[in-house]
């Protein structure tokens, strides 16, 4: 199961990489802890049968309606977006016996963004916390609020296109100034935002 407070891991196994990209998809705009638990519930019956996360998606998708039904069973939410993204990512990046490394490990950000349901933020979140030395920013609400608290004019929700890249550069400038890797600063901001929330939930 994904631990949102310790999400950075540059040595994930193939199965762990697959689980993490699925987590990156479902966590957008939701409680990280709740979505981690729901994803675990969603994958567990298949994991104990020896299926990898992507193999589980394939098995569920044998009936075009089954994947959505399984997502509804765990109350995942955003069923259309998530089922589409799950289907796209698992089919497009399914590893073969010829792959020396999992395709997810080497896929470019722009390639990940080609999957419907995966945007700039989700693709960067995945890369930032699964690959070393990534100079990217995951502009979620916590990072945007952090930048806003530093006096910058930022939107309430994640922007796209040129505005995203502009704010990404701003975040990276702060990381450099603070002598922190972007992944470290990102996780620090997120953990700081969670203080007191876990006990209340």
What's the rounded Cα separation, in Å, for the pair 162 and 175?
20
CATH architecture for the domain at 1-131: Orthogonal Bundle (1.10)
DSSP string, 56-70: HHHHHTTSTTHHHHH
CB distance 185 to 178 below 8 Å: yes
Q: How many CB atoms lie within 10 A of CB 65?
A: 10
Domain boundaries, the chain: 1-131, 135-201
Q: Nearest Cα to 87, choosing from 105, 60, 51, 110?
A: 60
- Tokens representing 185? 């600063």
Q: What is the CATH number that goes with domain 135-201?
A: 1.10.1670.10
pLDDT tens for the 201 residues of the chain, in order: 899 888 899 999 999 999 999 999 999 878 889 999 999 999 999 999 999 999 999 999 887 789 999 999 999 999 999 999 999 999 999 988 777 889 999 999 999 999 999 999 999 999 999 999 999 999 998 999 999 999 999 998 999 999 999 999 999 999 999 999 999 999 999 888 776 443 333
CA atoms within 13 A on the CB side of 176: 9
For the entire predicted model, the pTM comes to 0.89
CA atoms within 13 A on the CB side of 68: 8
DSSP string, 119-139: -HHHHHHHHHTTSTT------
């Amino acid at each position: 199961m994904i631990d949102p407070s310790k999400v950075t891991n540059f040595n994930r196994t193939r199965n762990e990489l697959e689980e993490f990209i699925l987590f990156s998809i479902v966590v957008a705009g939701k409680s990280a802890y709740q979505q981690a638990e729901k994803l675990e519930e969603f994958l567990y019956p298949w994991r104990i049968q020896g299926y990898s996360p992507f193999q589980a998606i394939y098995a569920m998708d044998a009936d075009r309606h089954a994947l959505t039904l399984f997502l509804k069973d765990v109350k995942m939410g955003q069923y259309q977006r998530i089922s589409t993204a799950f289907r796209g990512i698992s089919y497009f990046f399914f590893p073969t016996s010829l792959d020396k490394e999992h395709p997810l490990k080497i896929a470019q950000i722009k390639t990940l963004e080609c999957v419907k349901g995966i945007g700039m933020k989700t693709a960067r979140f995945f890369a930032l916390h699964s690959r070393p030395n990534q100079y990217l920013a995951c502009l979620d609400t916590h990072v945007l609020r952090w930048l806003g608290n530093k006096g910058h004019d930022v939107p309430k929700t994640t922007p796209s296109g040129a505005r995203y890249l502009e704010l990404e550069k701003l975040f990276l400038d702060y990381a450099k100034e603070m002598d922190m890797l972007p992944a470290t600063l990102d996780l620090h901001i997120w953990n700081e935002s969670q203080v007191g929330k876990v006990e209340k939930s």
